[in-house]
Amino acid sequence: MVAAQLLRARKGLDVAIIEPSEEHYYQPAYTLVGAGLMKKSATVRKEKRQIPKKATWIKDYVETIDPDSMEVILRSGDVVAYEYLIVAPGIQINLDGIEGLKEAYGKNGVCSNYIDPDYTWEVLRNFKGGVALFTQPATPIKCPGAPQKIMYLTADHIRRNKLEDKTTIVFATPGTVIFGTEPFKTELKHYVNEVYDVAQRYGYKLVKIDGEKKEAHYERLALPEGRTDYVHNDDTNRAGFKGYYPENGQIVEFAEANGPLNELKEGARFVIKYDMLHLAPPQSAPGWFRKTKLANPDGPDKGWMAVDKHTLQSRFYKNVFGAGDVTDLPTARTGAAIRKQAPTIVKNLLAVMDGKDAAYEGYNGYSSCPLVVAHNRMLLAEFKYDNVRSSDPLLSKFFDTGKASYPMWLLKRYGLPFMYWNMMLKGYNF
């Protein structure tokens, strides 16, 4: 997208794209694939058809970047010299980030749309009741709404197949709220509490998966401002809760524990038994990138690319810009964010090429999350920095994007993929 916009903005530029993939996937549709509402084959196209015609495609992997010598070193051993660099290597999935995950994944009902949505659909298709557990790691992840989307679609599938009386749906997250921005937060609370009766656990950090026993182990984190409401819409007799670790490390039934679930202390360890487990795996900036001088060397954003949050320019090298999931931008890592990041990068990069400063503070943290809550309903959560709502003014004239609706579902299923393939990747700025 950035390359296409650069070539549209200024003729004669020598632009190269280093990309090893033969195929290009529209990953936002993986939620629909995992729910059986779309074929994975509909999400993939040939990479060569997405490369702008006037750009040079270097089909190789990057081993490292040396910003001091302005060189990119490739896996083949070749070295690509540059004058200006846009870094967009995305995000890395780390299956070894949670004990037992690598061994458990792909069998015994442990699935993830982030890795293989076809297997998610297989698990869901064969689900006949029990505990359906949806969870996510304490690390940053791409599309942070995705663990919820498949939960809603699973709940919808269970209702349509009349399995509600045989099923308990559990949402366990290290986060503290279902969503951070209104009015989307209120609408989603309506779905988890009133429509689908989801048992919710907040401040729950996944630390271990025992695939053979079908158990997920959690550690309780501290909630902000003295809150103790870890558990919502749940009770001690509900399926899925096995017990907690007292000081001797033994798992006990909750009936033997001392006090209600919300009164157990921070740091307590819990086990949730499951029949189906969908998770977002732990994620990070790519391992090779974390070692470069473009990454934050320390602090809470260690390893992520250090960029100015409004200009997208590297904080360490003026001729380098960052886009997408690898950056340390304090906003959600989504495809929608790139739509606003790309033109900001292009405008500032052209200014730097002309000997000027990257002074255009065009990016305000815009991101969006199309939250599918049923097989024919979606709400479009759009926001910017500090969790401030930032809905599209044109779209908002015709629809209440804060309410789940059928027109929004059509946008998700047909409109957004069309925009991605035919507008975003072609370099149209809108």
Of these residues, 29, 33, 123, 143, which one is catalytic?
Answer: 143
Per-residue burial over 236-250, b if 16 or more Cβ lie within 10 Å, else e, is: eeebbbbbbbeeeee
Is 111 among the residues known to form the active site? no
Rounded Cα gap, residues 135 and 197, in angstroms = 16
Of these residues, 192, 276, 329, 369, which one is catalytic?
Answer: 369
Strand 85-87 and strand 320-322: the pairing is parallel
> Can you list the positions of beta strands (E) in 223-285?
231-232, 241-245, 252-253, 269-273, 276-279, 283-284
Is 369 among the residues known to form the active site? yes
Helix (H, G, I), strand (E, B) or coil at 372: strand
Q: Return phi, psi of residue 20, to 5°.
A: -85, -15
Angle in degrees, CA 411, 412, 415, rounded to 5: 45
181, amino acid identity: T
Alpha helices in 233-334 (DSSP H): 287-290
CA neighbor of 304 nearest in space, from 322, 290, 315, 324: 290
* Active site positions, annotated: 143, 369
